[in-house]
Amino acid sequence: MGQFSTGVDTDGAGLAPANVTRAYQRAQQQGGAPGADGMKVDQLADYVKQYWPSLKARLLAGEHHRQAVRAVEIKVKQGSRTSPA
């Protein structure tokens, strides 16, 4: 069983409804901060319901590419700043 750079198993096990639901619930529990695309978790359910067939097909075909993560500075106790590696 191979994997894409997205980390999705090519057999689709990671896209099983139970796994998708569990990931969604975990995101809700963690406060639902917007992702790199600015979409909040409370907006995600309707979006996924509308576009799931095409989203799943793109993931399984290896056509999905992650967006770059925004860089942030992290304050440390000594007052200096560091960027995540």
- In a domain? residue 5: no
Percentage of the chain beyond pLDDT 90 is: 6
- In a domain? residue 7: no
- In a domain? residue 37: yes
Buried b (16+ CB within 10 A) or exposed e, 58-75: ebbeeeeeeeeeeeeeee
- In a domain? residue 1: no
For residue 19, give its domain range: 13-82
- In a domain? residue 21: yes
Smallest Cα–Cα separation from 70: which of 21, 33, 26, 30?
A: 33
- In a domain? residue 40: yes
31-61 pLDDT per residue, tens: 767 877 788 888 888 998 899 899 889 888 8
pTM: 0.55
- In a domain? residue 71: yes
Number of domains in the chain: 1
6-32 pLDDT per residue, tens: 454 556 777 888 888 898 888 888 876
Rounded CA gap, 52 and 55, in Å?
A: 5
